[in-house]
Amino acid sequence: MSQEFHEKALNYHRGSRPGKIQVSSHKSINTHQGLSLAYTPGVAAPVREILKNPNTVNEYTIKGNLVAVVTDGSAVLGLGNAGPLAAKPVMEGKAVLFKRFADIDVFDIELDTQDVDEIVQTIKNIAPTFGGINLEDISAPRCFEIEQRLIDELDIPVFHDDQHGTAIIVAAGLLNAMEIQGKTADKVKVVCAGGGSAGIATLNLIAELGVKRENILLVDRNGVVSKDKKKKVNKYKAAFAVDTKKETLGDAMNGADVFIGVARGDLVTQEMVKSMSEKPIIFALSNPDPEISPVDAFSCRNDLLMATGRSDYPNQVNNVLGFPYIFRGALDANSKEINTEMKIAAVHALKDLAKLPVPNSVLQAYQIDSLSYGRDYIIPKPFDPRLIDIVPKAIFEAAVSSGVSCLT
């Protein structure tokens, strides 16, 4: 980040009114009657109705459109364990995106604890306020336990976006990339660098979509996760331990069809890229510096297809394509959870949208003359207005058909 942009970002957040979000009323309170309806005595009417039938709470309150964005600040962007206060700008930013893209209201919650039991209990205690819980920037492997316990114990959707948001967008792009590059899920050889939340969730999801686990090599900071090292890693990594003699990232990438990087910048060399199979696929997703830059990758291979996490290169893997619309569909369906069926529905909705003609409004937003499905366009753009119509509908239908919708 340049110093000029740094100062511009600080001024943006400071402004005449600090922060990015506010609480406002959408009901009129300009008269005596308006005040009486909003609070006493009028507020007693919905209280009585909810007492008689708790299921009516969404009819009379914001609950059905309200998501908690919750963090402990332990894994903030690329800054690591920044704590709750430094995490707050990110959570406010998440709230802005929920509202802008899916008209979902958000309270950001920054917890001053990193104890798993305390986090779970705190979220359970505040859950009646919300229609859904979005976990954010919580470090692995604690994030896996926190999410699963909350899914098991709450009757509203719980979704760790760093895991599943990333996984869904990667999977949608990967399905299209494999089609373009002439590869199939059941035969493709995948290398994933990074055994944290995004890496593990992505591998689990692409396995659901047909990639064989025996064709996946997970590489962490200690090298390839093999069966020989199974006892030295957590159970989430151990699930991807395979019988192999390969030890390093370079070993793993030799002959691989797909590389997925959710680790750190400048991790992959040109020699590693050269050693991959014909028509390789590279998703170098670390920000701000990818595992290998597109410039370096394309300078040694002209047959590859590449995606990054950056907006200044083609095929940006951006979670804003997922979480607002996934929650929109889940809330509209009054879903108890966001299950695998709903995640797969999101994958296919995004995958298929990229193949449709791109509307002029998208071209204008990105100041480009043309854009069509191919090696430089495998994932929809965030400002595609069709996302709000297509993705929530797919989520809604999957929630209903899989039996987790509570609509009557």
Contact 196, 144 (CB under 8 A): no
Catalogue all structural domains in the chain, each as residue range(s) with its CATH number.
3-156 (3.40.50.10380), 167-308 (3.40.50.720), 319-401 (no CATH)
* DSSP letter assigned to residue 322: T
Contact 305, 377 (CB under 8 A): no
Q: Which range among 20-24, 169-173, 282-286 shows the weakest confidence by mean pLDDT?
A: 20-24
Question: pLDDT confidence of 1, banded at 50, 70, 90?
Answer: low
pLDDT of 5 reads: 86
Q: Which range among 19-33, 62-76, 289-303 shows the weakest confidence by mean pLDDT?
A: 19-33
Phi/psi of residue 192, each to 5°? Answer: -120, 120
Catalytic residue among 8, 27, 60, 94: 94
Average pLDDT in the chain: 95
pLDDT of 16 reads: 86
The per-residue pLDDT for range 44-54, each reduced to its tens digit, is: 999 999 999 99
The per-residue pLDDT for range 343-358, each reduced to its tens digit, is: 999 999 999 999 999 9
The angle at the Cα of 365, spanning 362 to 368, to the nearest 5 degrees, equals 80
Distance of CA 87 to the CA centre of its chain: 17
Contact 295, 319 (CB under 8 A): no
**Percentage of the chain lying above the pLDDT 90 cut:** 88
Phi/psi of residue 189, each to 5°? Answer: -105, 125
The per-residue pLDDT for range 99-137, each reduced to its tens digit, is: 999 999 999 999 999 999 999 999 999 999 999 999 999
pLDDT of 204 reads: 97
Instruction: List, in sequence order, every residue forming a beta bridge with 218; answer none if it has no partner.
Output: 192
The two tokens of residue 315 are: 């095929």
pLDDT of 388 reads: 98
* Residue 373 among the catalytic residues: no
Catalytic residue among 12, 20, 27, 39: 39
- Pairwise CA distance, residues 325 & 333, whole Å: 12
The per-residue pLDDT for range 254-300, each reduced to its tens digit, is: 999 999 999 999 999 999 999 999 999 999 999 889 999 999 999 99
The per-residue pLDDT for range 377-408, each reduced to its tens digit, is: 999 999 999 999 999 999 999 999 999 999 87
Question: pLDDT confidence of 215, banded at 50, 70, 90?
Answer: very high
Mean pLDDT of 166-177: 98
* Residue 39 among the catalytic residues: yes
* Residue with token string 């509570």: 406
The per-residue pLDDT for range 315-341, each reduced to its tens digit, is: 999 999 999 999 999 999 999 999 999
Q: Which of 84, 77, 139 is nearest to 111 (CA)?
A: 84
Tell me the chain's radius of gyration from C-alpha atoms. Answer: 22
CB burial readout 61-75, b (16+ within 10 A) else e: eebbbbbbbbbbbbb
pLDDT of 337 reads: 97
Mean pLDDT of 163-175: 97
Mean pLDDT of 136-148: 96
pLDDT of 228 reads: 85
- Pairwise CA distance, residues 320 & 257, whole Å: 27
Structural element, H or E, at residue 107? strand 105-110
Q: Which of 321, 385, 393, 389 is nearest to 350 (CA)?
A: 321
In this structure, how many other beta carbons lie within 10 angstroms of the beta carbon of residue 274? 13
Residue 58 has pLDDT above 80, yes or no: yes
Contact 291, 261 (CB under 8 A): yes
Q: Which of 178, 168, 165 is nearest to 215 (CA)?
A: 178
Torsion of CA 315, 316, 318, 322, to 10 degrees: -10
For 167-320, list the strands marked E by DSSP: 190-193, 216-220, 223-224, 258-261, 281-284, 305-308
- Cβ burial, residue 227 (10 Å; 0-12/13-18/19+): exposed
CB burial readout 3-27, b (16+ within 10 A) else e: eeeeeeeeeeeeeeeeebbeeeeee
Q: Which range among 151-160, 310-319, 348-357 shows the weakest confidence by mean pLDDT?
A: 310-319
